[in-house]
Structure 1
Amino acid sequence: MQPKPFRRIVTGHDADGKAIIVSDAPPVRSQLIGGPGGPTFFEVWHTLETPAFIHSQPDDTDESGLVLPPPKNGTRIRVIEFPPEGEEIRKLTGADAAAKFKSMGDEKASTSAAGAPHPLMHRTQTVDYGIVLEGEITMILDKGETTIRPGDIVIQSGTNHAWANRSNDICRMAFVLIDGQFTNDTL
């Protein structure tokens, strides 16, 4: 069952400085990772810096493919649709997991290892806000896990984690990623 499409509404300013709608359409970039049974990433928007420059006519044409983390000193918002997890995911090797993260533009994020709680464990130097929009998903950490449902919000502070959809329906989540830097006490 496919979730309903969603719109990306981008605002800006006209030549007189008046607020306008620049675009109103589904996200222009999406990518299925790992073939059938893998998640679909919908790249919604990103900024290249913080504080973000506010242009009168914003555009997002500077990236052509999927990049897992936000730009250095920037942000990213994306929506991911996680299908129910099958055996093909649970049987991934460390090399398979690294290849999946490489296809997302960040092979170094993979922390897959023998004995890990999930083969798609990963970690990035980001603060991420994850919001479940539809369905449910299990967040797996090094020590523990929890099921997240519609309306629940996760704040991830550079933690090693994986996502497992153990339900029978697609889970749609929105993520806001903010570039970060580990301190000495988070290594």
Structure 2
Amino acid sequence: MNTIPRRIITGTKNGKSVITEDRQVDNVVEHFPGLIISDVWNTQTMPASLNFETRIPNTGFPQTPKNGTYFRYVVVPPDKDLGLEWKKNEPHPMMHKTPTLDYIIILSGELYLIMEEGETLLKPGDIVIQRGTNHAWSNRSDEPCIQLAVLIDAEIKE
């Protein structure tokens, strides 16, 4: 399984800023072959509490807490490794929608963002602002794509 970068958590001790934790992320799950997800951090309230962490289970499709956030590390393998078959004029089998505002950054590899109408190729450094719409990801290359995402609970109006 892929090694997730280390996680460093800061805090305060005796009125001074300190590093309270410095270790490899261990909250890692492989939901499908090569699809590696780690929900690195989450918050349960807005404004966010800085005093504690509530560990959450990794899920294939995020379940952001009401008034909360997720910070998610995702490795998306090539479609062929997932065994996905998708015909152009049909909905993508991984099409989904979450009631969140998502800030997504592509770190490495490439990935198609597929919408109900249209798609675009994402490359390292590209940023996606996903605003609670149906979407899917398709990795048509031969290499995994790594993305970071911050998901924020949002009010979706249809």
Q: Which amino acid letter does the alignment assign opposite residue 7 of structure 2?
A: R
Match of 1:109 in 2: none
User: Which of 35, 41, 47 matches 2:37?
Assistant: 41
Task: Report runs of 4+ in structure 1 exceeding 6 Å deviation.
Answer: none
- Does residue 1:70 correspond to 2:64, yes or no? yes
SS in structure 1 of the partner of residue 150 of structure 2: strand
Match of 1:105 in 2: none
Name the structure where strand makes up a greater proportion of residues: 2
User: Which of 19, 22, 27 matches 1:21?
Assistant: 19
Question: What residue ranges of structure 2 are gaps of 5+ in the alignment?
Answer: none
Name the structure where helix makes up a greater proportion of residues: 1
1:18-61 deviation per Cα after TM superposition (whole angstroms, max 9, x unaligned): 11111112222011112x2x411011100001100121xx3343
Match of 1:8 in 2: 7
User: Which of 101, 110, 122 matches 1:136?
Assistant: 110
Match of 1:102 in 2: none
Structure 1: distance between partners of 2:109 and 2:36: 15
User: What is the identity percentage for the equivalent residue pairs of Structure 1 and Structure 2?
Assistant: 40
Match of 1:157 in 2: 131
1:129-151 deviation per Cα after TM superposition (whole angstroms, max 9, x unaligned): 11001111000000000011111
- Does residue 1:115 correspond to 2:60, yes or no? no
Q: Which amino acid letter does the alignment assign opposite residue 40 of structure 1?
A: I
State whether residues 28 and 43 of structure 1, in contact with CA within 8 Å, keep that contact through their aligned partners in structure 2. no
After TM superposition, the score normalised by the length of structure 1 is: 0.76
User: Which of 77, 85, 93 matches 1:90?
Assistant: 85
Aligned residues between the structures: 153
Shift of 1:69: 2.5
How large is the Cα RMSD of the aligned pairs? Answer: 1.8
